[in-house]
Structure 1
Amino acid sequence: MADTPSLRERARRAARAEIAATAMRLFAENGFDATTVDQIAGAAGISRRSFFHYFGSKEDVVLGDTEALGESVRAALEARPDDESAWAAIRAAFLTIRPVDKTQEEQLTLARIHHEAPSVRARHLEKHLRWQELLAPDIQRRLGLPPTTTPDPRALAFVAAALACFDAAVDAWYRSDGAEDPEQLFDEAVATLRG
């Protein structure tokens, strides 16, 4: 039987989702920078302290749990067939984090915040550095590089390039107002690097 979250964990997830939805509504109405943690807490009917029980910062509302997402991408990457190329494997791993629970309008709001809010962009870059360390070992193996105690710079560069392609695709999708296909944009960016 699969692990079923406890009642407490389900309640925590529901509260977190409700706070995030409230925050996203306020971000859409007022802008990210103009919305304060106190406003989010007040609109959600919680204290400022309770907000920080669920989120480390206002930026974390937008970015989600970057540690958990990174771990899920790492697990998805490691689960790919051993003979799959590094590019195919990392592409498939990235696809596992598509926000299937959000409407296109909600996804565009998130992308706009990523695009416009300097504090979110800075936090996003921190996430990329952590993800490079997480994903590099499997990429290093797939590139046929010998195992090392610290990630090979070539594997780190590969992951950094893949993340840059991912970001470029999302940014282009946002600028097209959701009309472009982000997967195709990612593939085009990768093809340019590999060409």
Structure 2
Amino acid sequence: MTETARTAAQSAGKPPGLRERMRATVRTEVVEVAHRLFTEQGFDKTTVDQIAAEVGLSRASLFRYFGTKEEIVLGRLAESGRRIAEALAARPDDERPWEALRRSFDVLTRMNEQAPEQTLSYLRMLQETPSLRAGHYEKQRSWQELLVPEVARRLGVSPDQPEDTRPSALAAAALACLDVAATGWVACEGAVPLAVLLDRAMGALEEQPGPA
């Protein structure tokens, strides 16, 4: 191992420093306050100045933590994407890629079960606010990029072969099913568990009935 690689490995293994922990704490507080205000007033009617004042930050300071108001809402999606990718990589190697993708989404369904009302409010806001819908789409595109390499590995192909569209197709289809299930979950006000709706959506692509 080179000295540079050794230093990088040692740095990766270090716990976050005080500054990083303080920054994470402030970000968490901003997100919690902002989501409460968004729920009470709506996304468009809540201003950055309101959020900053309640957290005890200046407007300029808040923008050092989040580049835009939308990013306060969408920031958590990046972490969700990483968790899904990690869950996919941890699935058994002999599991079919489609089943492995479905099971990797369990990290989201379990989170939703812990705080269903909060998650419903969050997803409803994503679906009803045009600027957030666009940002959500872009975040999910980044999820697809995280999932494709592992799907390709399970198919025994290289993710760098653009002529083999199967890994991207499977990842994109699975995420589309997740989006459809989430939309249905919000529409029925959580009456049917998200996991059940996701099973139905992804199961429909497996059945593919022939003509009568």
Q: Shorter-chain TM-score category? A: 0.7 to 0.9
Instruction: Give the equivalent residue in structure 2 for 1:136.
Output: 148
Alpha-carbon distance, 1:82 to partner: 0.6
Q: Segments of 4+ in structure 1 off by > 6 A?
A: none
Instruction: Give the equivalent residue in structure 2 for 1:31.
Output: 42
Instruction: Give the equivalent residue in structure 2 for 1:175.
Output: 187
- One-letter amino acid of the structure 2 residue matched with residue 58 of structure 1: K
TM-score with structure 2 length normalisation?
A: 0.81
Instruction: Give the equivalent residue in structure 2 for 1:161.
Output: 173
Alpha-carbon distance, 1:19 to partner: 0.9
Q: How many equivalent residue pairs?
A: 193
Structure 2 residue 81 is matched with structure 1 residue 70 = yes
Q: 2:62 aligns with which of 51, 55, 60?
A: 51
Alpha-carbon distance, 1:159 to partner: 0.9
More helix by share: 2
Alpha-carbon distance, 1:100 to partner: 6.2
Structure 2 residue 95 is matched with structure 1 residue 84 = yes
Aligned partners of 2:144 and 2:172 also within 8 Å: yes
TM-score with structure 1 length normalisation?
A: 0.87
Aligned-pair Cα RMSD in Å = 2.2
Aligned partners of 1:128 and 1:160 also within 8 Å: no
1:105-150 C-alpha deviation (Å, 9 max, x unpaired): 2112101101100111101111122121221121123234x22424
Instruction: Give the equivalent residue in structure 2 for 1:120.
Output: 132
Instruction: Give the equivalent residue in structure 1 for 2:6.
Output: none
Name structure 1 gaps, 5 residues minimum: none
**Aligned CA distance change for structure 1 residues 166 and 101 (closer, same or farther; 3 Å):** closer
